[in-house]
Amino acid sequence: MAKTNNIKANSTKRTDGIKERNPKGNQRKTLMKVLRYIRPHSLLLIIALVMAVLSVAFTLYLPILTGEAVDVIGKFFVAGAESNVAMKDPESLGQNWRMLFGIFRNMALLILLTAAAQWIMNICNNKIVYNVIQDIRKKAFRKIEELPLSYLDVHSHGDIVSRVVADVDQFADGLLIGFTQLFTGIITILGTLFFMLSVNVGITAVVVIITPVSLFVASFIAKKTFNMFKLQSETRGEQTALINEMIGNQKVVQAFNKEEETLEKFDEINDRLEKCSLRAIFFSSLTNPCTRFVNSLVYMGVGLTGAFAVLRGGLSVGQLTVFLSYANQYTKPFNEISGVITELQNALACAQRVFDLMEQSSQIPDKEGAAVLTDAKGVIALENVSFSYVPEKKLIEDLNLQVKPGQRIAIVGPTGCGKTTIINLLMRFYDVNEGSISVDGTDVRDLTRKSLRTSYGMVLQDTWLKRGTIRDNITVGREDATEEEIVAAAKASHAHSFIKRLPDGYDTVIGEDGGNLSGGQKQLLCITRVMLSLPPMLILDEATSSIDTRTEIQIQKAFATMMEGRTSFIVAHRLSTIQNADVILVMKDGHIIEQGNHEQLLKQNGFYAQLYNSQFAIA
């Protein structure tokens, strides 16, 4: 399909196609979409929340035990130093040591329980995150298969890959950090306030008064970072697109000495990525020191007010120890949450790009109750067909064509006249703008796409081979084919001889897009694929363009045998390959301007005759 690759030259442009909207509204919508993916894992989420609560409760109870230990030590040893009680009352000494031992034992038990709760919480969080990521990637990949070709035509393939791979990875990292630290952070803040209130309301009030400053700082920075991380993600998509394009077309780049120009283009994108990344990181890096400064104010406030309370006798030294410990624990989550918010901003920005892809309109689904095309006879009719890829640029207008069963229809004409477009319409890769195309009397829009496309065998000028064995690539259309059938199809396409010369014959593993096979060998495999499935209708779009003349003659004979009784469409530039066609359609500017067999068209001495003479005229 010629049109599917027309946009590669523009692949380094911004391709998200999304209008800028209210960032805050975007974040909220994206977050709600993420929560919908988390909902099926509610049980794991509840377990993680319970473990987070237990972990925080155990952690916060530890300072109380520490304070009790300090008070026990203080009461006994200070009193003993003043009145020598420790020496006079060994029983009291032993009782205090037993109390200390009991406190230390409880502390050790709490530490073990805290570690166990955190371990279970982390396991649940990991399961939630990677299950969510698996679901999103599955749906995103399925969406790519459902997208209309018109979307793929105007969006960089590298950018789409970046959304499904890099953006989803970034989203996973942010979500994992969010689950791990956000739960415990929020619960720690609430739990710490509860424990502090139970000890001293006045000092707790000092903490609560200073807290909003930290929240304001974190909120201000979070708003700034979201758009910057979104821009960073988009620019990274551009970079991936360019790299993907250059790797796939490196021979062309080197052949035209475009290395320097390509490097300059890469440097330009790389510089933009550096700038937007630095801005995003700069603002996100402000979060931690700013919140730490506010947290230091909290700690200072607790220390000063607590010291005065101890001097007045309203607070013991052990309780002050507890408060200072709580002040530390209370402020620590603000540092973590501020860091989490930064990561979540990045995660949500990446998630938004993935969701934007997943929410694109799919190709028009098959009609409810669409007919299944079986045993197609090959009666094809194009009636008043009009079509254009871009509305303002007309391509095919008012095209009419009647094809009888078993006819060989050749389509010729200058580049851009609409030859390949007709193929795209026949296969329903695109739907007509006006008019209709029918097969065996049924409009193709009333047939299932699967049954329509199964009824066609197609060999294109652009080959497509997947990573796998030679056998895997031949049996794409017929996975149940026997070894004898595979070999017979390969012999008919004259591919058998070169396959046997490969290291492992039909079991030779080839890389993506054919690996080190030549262009001609790739095309022979694609021809073999069609010869194996032998559907009732054939489409050959420059099927022998990469094959040497001698082999082409042999394959044309095989094609002639294969096309017997099958409706066939042959797109060709070399007119020598279509002289035996039943009907030759001569196209120009989206219209059929001449129609007839080879001899009839030559007698007309029209456009076809000009094309033929330009190829075969003797200078």
Strand partners, 290: none
Q: Report the 3 state secondary structure along 319-349.
A: HHHHHHHHHHHHHHHHHHHHHHHHHHHHHHH
Which residues have CB under 8 Å from 619's CB, separation 6+?
Answer: none
Tokens standing for 167? 């953006």
Strand partners, 417: none
* Domain end residue (candidates: 358, 392, 427): 358
Residues 216 and 145 in one domain: yes
Residues 600 and 486 in one domain: yes
Number of folded domains in the chain? 2
Model pLDDT for residues 497-538, shown as the tens digit of each residue = 889 998 889 999 887 777 778 877 888 888 888 888 888 898
* Domain end residue (candidates: 324, 358, 392): 358
Tokens standing for 227? 């758009």
Residues 350 and 386 in one domain: no
Residues 347 and 401 in one domain: no
CB neighbour burial string for 464-492, b if at least 16 within 10 angstroms, e if fewer: ebeeeebbbbbbbebeebeeebbbbbbeb
In-domain check, residue 23: no
Q: How many whole angstroms separate alpha carbon 499 and alpha carbon 505?
A: 5
* Domain end residue (candidates: 358, 390, 405): 358
Residue 78 pLDDT: 54
Half-sphere exposure of 479 (CA within 13 A, CB side): 1
Residue 92 pLDDT: 59
Is 397 exposed, middle or buried, given 0-12, 13-18 or 19+ CB atoms closer than 10 A?
middle
Q: How many whole angstroms separate alpha carbon 382 and alpha carbon 386?
A: 10
The whole-number average pLDDT for the span 447-455 is 89
Considering only residues 566 and 4, tell me which one the structure prediction assigns the higher pLDDT.
Answer: 566
Q: E-strand spans in 394-512?
A: 396-403, 408-412, 434-439, 442-443, 456-459, 468-469, 509-510
Residues 179 and 210 in one domain: yes
In-domain check, residue 114: no
Strand 434-439 and strand 380-387: the pairing is antiparallel
Mean pLDDT score across all residues of the chain: 79
Model pLDDT for residues 462-493, shown as the tens digit of each residue = 778 888 889 988 988 888 889 999 999 898 88
User: Read out DSSP for 72-94?
Assistant: HHHHHHHHHHHH-HHHH-HHHHH
CA distances 77 to 68, 104, 225, 531, 595, Å, are: 14, 18, 54, 97, 113
Model pLDDT for residues 15-30, shown as the tens digit of each residue = 344 334 445 556 778 8
Q: How many whole angstroms separate alpha carbon 424 and alpha carbon 443?
A: 15
Residues 138 and 183 in one domain: yes
Residue 112 pLDDT: 92
Considering only residues 387 and 97, tell me which one the structure prediction assigns the higher pLDDT.
Answer: 387
Q: How many whole angstroms separate alpha carbon 572 and alpha carbon 551?
A: 17
Residues 444 and 538 in one domain: yes
Q: Within 10 A of 251 (CB to CB), how many other CB atoms are there?
A: 8
In-domain check, residue 335: yes
Considering only residues 616 and 427, tell me which one the structure prediction assigns the higher pLDDT.
Answer: 427
Residue 8 predicted with pLDDT over 50: no
Residue 598 pLDDT: 87
Predicted TM-score of the model (pTM): 0.62
Looking at residue 562, its amino acid is M
Alpha helices, DSSP H, located in 435-518: 449-454, 470-474, 483-492, 496-500
Model pLDDT for residues 115-154, shown as the tens digit of each residue = 999 899 889 888 888 888 888 888 888 888 888 877 877 7
Percent residues over pLDDT 70 in the chain: 86
The whole-number average pLDDT for the span 303-319 is 75
Residue 401 predicted with pLDDT over 60: yes
Residues 173 and 322 in one domain: yes
In-domain check, residue 384: yes
Residues 440 and 555 in one domain: yes
In-domain check, residue 136: yes
Domain CATH number, residue 470: 3.40.50.300
In-domain check, residue 606: yes
| Contact between residue 428 and residue 544 where contact means Cβ atoms under 8 Å apart | no
Residue 99, SS3 per DSSP: helix
Residue 437 pLDDT: 92
Tokens standing for 88? 């006079």
DSSP 363: P
Domain span including residue 470? 380-616
Residues 338 and 387 in one domain: no
Domain CATH number, residue 341: 1.20.1560.10
Residue 339 pLDDT: 64
> Of 39, 135, 123, 183, which is closest to residue 351 (Cα–Cα)?
135
In-domain check, residue 274: yes
Strand partners, 410: 570, 584
In-domain check, residue 78: no
The whole-number average pLDDT for the span 408-419 is 84
> Of 277, 308, 326, 299, which is closest to residue 60 (Cα–Cα)?
326
Residues 422 and 533 in one domain: yes
Residues 437 and 317 in one domain: no
